[in-house]
Amino acid sequence: MTNAFPPSLGQRFLNLPTALYHPIQAEPLPNPTLLHWNEPVAELADIQRGEIDPHKLAAYLAGNQSWPGSTPCASVYAGHQFGYFVPQLGDGRALLLGDRNGWELQLKGSGRTPWSRAGDGRAVLRSSLREYLCSEAMHGLGVPTTRALSLIGSPLPVWRETEETAAVVLRMSPSFIRFGHFEWLSHHKQTATLRTLADFVITHHFPSWQTHPERYARLFAEITRLTAHLMAHWQSVGFTHGVMNTDNMSILGLTLDYGPFGFLDTYQADFVCNHTDAHGRYAYDQQPDVGAWNLTRLAQAMVSLVSSDELKAILDTYPSQFATHYIQLMSRRLGLKPARQHTGVILGLLELMQSNQLDYHGFFRDLCAFDTTPDAKNHALRDQCRQREQFDQWAAQWRHALTEDGVSDADRRGIMLRHNPKYILRNHLAEEIIHEVRDRHNTEVLNDIIRVLHAPFDEHPDLARWAAPPPAGTRIELSCSS
């Protein structure tokens, strides 16, 4: 199908009651410039840029020009932020343009909305680059996530900790509905609208349940399953979100709202990527429990649709669903058949990494070359450990598990190379890319980094520098403005 740019958009979100949104136009962004266009994401929504003039293209992607069929709107929701309920939040700097081919298109950084509070409604290039890149990095790793279609820059000054310049990301998702939408309606006792919202989610994402008498219980059960799987994915790839408020939780189990995120470098179970999280509420090792806590808040919001006993019974399945999926993911990283008897091998490796301060991603990738023959010393791996006897004990345990599984060495290496990435969007690399794009005006670097992030398990010998671990002593602090 051939389409002129911009294509026409649908407006399914506007079929919901107006209590959930407010139509508003984007604030014009001066001198918008297209910094990157993500062709694979454009193909998902059947969007073709064609031969459109680059300046006109940038105007549409910044929100300066209206798309056919679009009535931009911002939505309202509530949320628990760092454990405390905030009764009214909302899209303070985001606008939903509409939907196409099953994907909703949303501008982030497009100006003030009724829910901007004291904010300016803008996003800066630094944080926009981080979201743009990490959306695609997570997709490349196989982690459920929103996607990023385009990145627009502008000379417009925006003040955060210092003066920076503005940017707009056009991001896409099957849905941007959050736990907080249900919380807002529940708090305001809009029971009928809450039911309408649940029906909307079911109609567009789980249509086979539309007439099922237990459809709302099924919906909550599916959100629980998807959230458990998302937490397992995050833990497996060493990702820390940084701000796991309920208003940042997707009802489709997608990674949503990239702010002060961080991938592990040296393995540290209690790693906190957000320096404003003084008490470590959203530390790496706390994320699975926070997922359960957030689901409990959603259950409280849905009690008008599902009995509290049913909701509790569903919530009780969360720990086992998380554990099962986490073991599956981690077993693949070790070339093992997914099975609960491998829990000891997995936990033993994490203890080895913690006590020897090993690089989480580098050590996993190095393990792909492990020699499984009984007398092999694996010096290259062993010498990374200060406690070499601990490595020997764990390696023997791993060899035994591989033997029990009957996995050939060639198959084991192949499985591991497909599940242990060479390329990770570590914070020092994100900072380097920000410097290249923002300070040196080098946008070509984005083509290279997107290439490795879309295929992080491949070697890419011409781009191997992006696989480098952080220099010794590197410490990058991130805040909610990141």
For 58-115, write each residue's pLDDT tens digit. Answer: 999 999 999 999 999 999 999 999 999 999 999 999 999 999 999 999 999 999 999 9
Catalytic residues: 247
pLDDT mean over 154-172: 96
Q: Is residue 200 part of a domain?
A: no
Reading the block at residue 181, the tokens are 């939408």
- Kindly indicate the confidence band of residue 341, based on its pLDDT and cuts at 50, 70 and 90: confident
**The pTM is what?**
0.97
Tell me the pLDDT tens digit for each residue of 192-229.
Answer: 999 999 999 999 999 999 999 999 999 999 999 999 99
Residue 104, in any domain of the structure: yes
- Interval 118-144: pLDDT, tens: 999 999 999 999 999 999 999 999 999
Contact 359, 390 (CB under 8 A): no
Strand partners, 23: 73
Please check the confidence at residue 482 and state whether its pLDDT lies above 60.
no
Of 111, 139, 173, the position where a domain reaches its end is 173
Q: Would you give the distance in Å from CA 408 to the centre of its chain? A: 34
Provide the pLDDT for residue 281: 97
Q: Is 26 helix (H, G, I), strand (E, B) or coil?
A: coil
Contacts of 367 (CB under 8 A, 6+ apart): 334, 381, 416, 420
Place 481 in a pLDDT band, splitting at 50, 70 and 90: low
Give 399's Cβ-side CA count (13 Å radius): 15
Which pLDDT score, from 0 to 100, does residue 477 have?
66
Please say which residue of 123, 148, 173 terminates a domain.
Answer: 173
Is 81 a member of any domain? yes
Query: Does residue 1 have a pLDDT over 60?
Result: no
- Contact indicator for 135, 151 with CB cutoff of 8 Å: no
Number of H helices, E strands in the chain: 16, 12
- 248 occurs within a structural domain: no
- Least reliable range by pLDDT among 56-60, 325-329, 406-410, 432-436: 406-410
**Inside any domain, residue 223:** no
- Asked if residue 228 lies in contact with residue 318, where contact means CB atoms within 8 angstroms, the answer is yes
Which pLDDT band, with edges at 50, 70 and 90, does 295 fall under? very high
Overall average pLDDT of the 346-357 stretch: 98
**Alpha carbon distance 159, 176 (integer Å):** 27
Residue 38 within a domain:
yes
Residue 375 pLDDT grade (very low, low, confident, very high; cuts 50, 70, 90):
confident
For residue range 2-39, list pLDDT tens digits in order: 468 999 999 999 999 999 999 999 999 999 999 999 99
Range of the domain at 339: 334-419
Identify the domain boundary among 367, 394, 419.
419
* Domains contained in the chain, number: 2
φ, ψ of residue 386 in degrees (nearest 5): -75, -30
| pLDDT at residue 476, rounded to an integer | 72
Answer yes or no: is 3 within a domain: no
pLDDT in the model for residue 89 = 97
Q: Which of 126, 16, 32 is nearest to 77 (CA)?
A: 16
Of 406, 404, 396, nearest in space to 370 by CA: 396
Produce one character per residue of 178-205: b if its CB has 16 or more CB atoms within 10 Å, e if not.
bbbbbbbbbbeebeebbebbbbbbbebb
CA 322 to chain centre: 17
197 contacts: CB under 8 Å, gap ≥ 6: 16, 20, 177, 181, 182, 185
Q: For the chain, what is the mean pLDDT?
A: 96
Do 464 and 447 form a contact (C-beta atoms < 8 A)?
no
- Residue 285 inside a domain? The answer is no
